[in-house]
Amino acid sequence: MTILKAENISKQYRLGLVGTGTLKHDVNRFWHRIRGKEDPYSKVGAVNDRSTQAKEEYVWALRDINFEVQQGEVLGIIGKNGAGKSTLLKILSRVTGPTTGSIKTKGRIASLLEVGTGFHPELTGRENIYLNGAILGMTKAEIAAKEDEIIDFSGCAMYIDTPVKRYSSGMRVRLGFAVAAFLEPDILVVDEVLAVGDAEFQKKAIDKMKAISTGEGRTVLFVSHNMASIQNLCTRVMLLNNGMVDIIGNTEDVINHYLHKYRNEEVSQDLASRKDRKGNGKLKFLDYWIETVDGKKVNAMQTGGHFNMIIKVNNVSDFSLNNVRISVGIDDDQARRITVLGNDLTNELIELSNRQIDLIKILIPKVPFQAGNYHFTLFASEGEDVLDWVMNAGSFEVEHGDFFNTGRTIQQNQGNILVHHEFH
Amino acid sequence: MSAKTNNDWLYEITPHKKLISLNLKEIWRYRDLLILFVKRDIVTVYKQTVLGPLWYFIQPLFTSVIFTLVFNNVAGVSTGGVPSFLFNLAGITAWNYFKACFTGTSNIFRGNAGIFGKVYFPRAIMPLSITISNLLKFGIQLLIFIGFYLYFVFLGHDVSPNAYLMLMPVYVVMMALMGLGMGMTISAVTTKYRDLTVLVGFATSLLMYISAVPFPLSKAVEQLPKYAWAFEYNPITQIIEGFRFMTLDYGTFTWGGFIYALVFSVSIFLIGLVIFNRTEKNFIDTV
């Protein structure tokens, strides 16, 4: 049974400051409306792409979103920062309305965008459980029935009759989450950033979320950045990109699509001109390539072969960097970190003279990777200072090769690292 | 089959909304929240104060004493045969309820942006809870007023209410509607244009004077005949004056003025409700 149906949801935002120009637009809009004409600004608006400076005054945070959710389904919503996830969440929670379109639902929606909403500092923990529960849509009787469980789950039993203003921030979060965890709506909308607090409570919170979403046939819409928890919880996933639905389908397909598409988009950019880098900028990664041991550039490594990875760096500063640490973190095509290469591990010294471009050569004898596509992150530091750090800086291909010198290799789904070993 | 399932949606989230939509069923479902908000408003104000709820008594008493000293003793405003203190207390009691509803509601959207931005509940719960908690405070102040009333009667002053006292509930409703209507309008406009918040602070204290709170309406008309219209056409003046008239049997009352104030307060409330409804949906984008 379809429990929730979204049709042509769009949301337009106005960019820039609210000022006299806003009043002019409001008046114009009002003038159009009383003559029965369409909103003059509903036609304009840029696509929600945050990497470019907006040229128009209006932007579509969401554009023509359509989807259906079946009863008992756990739908994951993923996408890069700024893809429109939070806006969609807000519309589903009825915190803000859509500009066009409609969402029809057959059940009560409760949303958890934040824990402890509406806590009053002067009220005691117990009083706040009731207040917060009621804000989230529970009745007094429902809360009373679960009061003991909530207090127990929060671990704040000792302070439950103390005003919340005396609580530590961690206790406040725990109490807030405890109330939310005992909500029982037909449809639950959750933002994963909720799982906060210390490590122990985080685990408890995630377990509870899992229990909520898997047990009792509850319908859940779950927004997350964490592919592992999406994979773990969701039956279906929707991928948003620039405010539009990119793809919606079964979890594995969508996640693969997401990883390939966005990671490849990133690595296809010129490394020197990447803007999404961290560090103090004294050093800059410019380029990279793979070559054979005799210095011939190649497109791919071969399993079991000997290859050099060359990283071109520029010491932009006026001083020489005498003890640089360079790390290459290698990820597989599921964005799982599989290993790290680093001169701190091999205990080799790297010195870079001021205002000079250098080539750093990393020899990988007997390449241990299975055939496939690998991405890597580049990191450089000197002492405590991060010099340059580019996540997902590049990628390389590995082709089939004879690692064991027997013509054999491990099966496809048996991992992607080969280890030299001998039986005696 | 599909035709059937398409019809039993529980509710629909859409951009457009009817002009006035008070979903009473939904408000009823959230009645516990309403009660808790009222409780919160009443209880938390004087938490961690030594005098606690006594402050509810002190504030109107002191204002009445000051008004009596300034307007009646220094400026020599006559309040007929009615004790000046009781006259002022009556005006302040009525005025306070209107003012509390008005200032409380006028900050709803901005003051609660944190909650409204995260959770949905019928937004009308907020102004409702403000009206109800202030009604309770009004009840307390009314008790003080009655206490002093009896005290002055005991001292031998010739004061007594008249038959119009029957209209008291109507007056209370008018005060609430007027405060709510004006408050909701201002609250909605300030989500986008902050100019009005600056105004509200001093406008309410100015409004008190042109609502003839510290002096009888007749006095104002007599002393400032040129500006008499400002007092007479002010619906709040009609309410304050009417409240004093029925309790103290002193002042002026006309059915015309009463109807005028009633129509005005109902209209301003409806206007406020429409604006509030239009705003509650998307205000979080601009606040």
The arrangement of strands across the sheet holding B11-13 comes to A46-47, A58-70, A2-14, A100-105, B11-13
Q: Which of A91, A113, A123 sits opposite B44 (nearest CB)?
A: A123
How many Cβ atoms are within 10 Å of B140's Cβ, its own excluded? 15
Over residues A58-104, the pLDDT tens digits come to 788 898 999 999 888 889 998 877 788 888 988 988 888 888 888 99
pLDDT of A363 > 90? The answer is yes
Return residue ranges of chain A for CATH 3.40.50.300.
68-263
B4 part of a folded domain: no
User: Per the domain annotation, does B254 fall within a domain?
Assistant: yes
> Taking residues A388-403, what's their average pLDDT?
90
For chain A, counts of helices (H) and of strands (E):
9, 20
Residue B133 structural domain? 33-285
In-domain check, residue B28: no
Radius of gyration of chain B (CA): 21
Domain A272-399, classified CATH 2.70.50.60, yes or no? yes
Q: Is the pLDDT of residue A185 over 60?
A: yes
| Cβ-based neighbour number of residue A1 at 10 Å | 8
Partner-chain contact B119 A140, CB within 8 Å:
no
Alpha-carbon gap, residue A373 to A396, rounded angstroms: 6
Q: Do A22 and B192 touch (CB under 8 A)?
A: yes
Condensed to tens digits (0 to 9), the pLDDT of residues B166-181 reads 888 999 999 999 999 9
Structure tokens at B166: 């029957």
> Residue A49: what pLDDT?
62
CA distance A22 to A38: 18
Q: Does the residue B12 lie in any domain?
A: no
Best of B34, B36, B43, B277 to mutate (most A CBs within 10 Å, chain A): B36
CATH of domain A68-263: 3.40.50.300
Q: List Cβ neighbours of B203 (8 Å cut-off, separation of 6 or more).
A: none
Q: What is the pLDDT, as a whole number, of residue B202?
A: 83
Mutation choice for B interface testing from A95, A103, A194 by most B CBs within 10 A:
A95
Q: Tell me the pLDDT tens digit for each residue of A20-32.
A: 556 777 777 777 7
- Specify the pLDDT at position B1: 37
pLDDT of residue A46: 65
Amino acid at B168: M
Distance from B207 to chain A by nearest Cα, in Å? 28
Q: Where in chain A is the domain with CATH 2.70.50.60?
A: 272-399
Instruction: Kindly determine whether residue A101 and residue B11, on different chains, have CB atoms separated by under 8 Å.
Output: no
- Residues of chain A contacting B13 with CB distance shorter than 8 Å: 91-92, 94, 97-98, 102-105
Q: State whether B32 and A139 contact (CB < 8 Å).
A: yes
Residue A313 has pLDDT above 90, yes or no: yes
Under the banding of pLDDT at 50, 70 and 90, the label for residue A423 is very high
Which pLDDT band holds residue A196 (cuts at 50, 70, 90)?
Answer: low
Start-to-end CA span in chain B (Å): 44
Q: Which of A64, A112, A131 to mutate to test the interface with B (most CBs of B within 10 A)?
A: A131
Q: What is the mean pLDDT of residues A361-387?
A: 91
Both structure tokens of B81: 């045969």
Is residue A61 within 8 A of residue B284, CB to CB? The reply is: no
Contact check, Cβ <8 Å, B15/A100: yes
Report the 10 Å Cβ neighbour count for A151.
19
pLDDT reported for residue A112: 79
Strand partners, A13: A59
CA angle A107–A111–A113, rounded 5-degree value? 165
- Closest partner CB to B115 (pick from A106, A107, A135): A135
Strands A219-223, A187-191: pairing kind: parallel
- What is the mean pLDDT of the segment spanning A148-161? 89
- Higher confidence at residue A215 or residue A237? A237
Kindly report the average pLDDT of chain B as a whole number. Answer: 85
Low-confidence ranges of chain B (pLDDT < 70): 1-7, 16-22, 287
- Phi first, then psi, for residue B271 (nearest 5°) are -60, -45
Q: How far, in Å, CA of A359 to CA of A286, rounded?
A: 10
Determine the Cα–Cα distance for residues A26 and B242; give it in Å rounded to an integer.
41
Residue B2 is predicted with a pLDDT of 40
Contact status, residue B44 vs residue A122, Cβ threshold 8 Å: yes
Q: Please give the tally of structural domains in chain B.
A: 1
* Better-scored residue on pLDDT, A296 or A54: A296
pLDDT over 80 (residue A306): yes
Which among A111, A120, A122 has the least Cβ separation from residue B119? A111
A422, burial (CB in 10 Å: exposed 0-12, middle 13-18, buried 19+): exposed
Rounded to the nearest 5°, which phi and psi values hold at A184?
-130, 65
Do the chains contact at A106 and B9, CB–CB below 8 Å? yes
Two tokens at B187? 């609250």
Residue A115's pLDDT is what?
79
- Asked if residue B273 is part of any domain, the answer here is yes
Q: Do A122 and B44 touch (CB under 8 A)?
A: yes
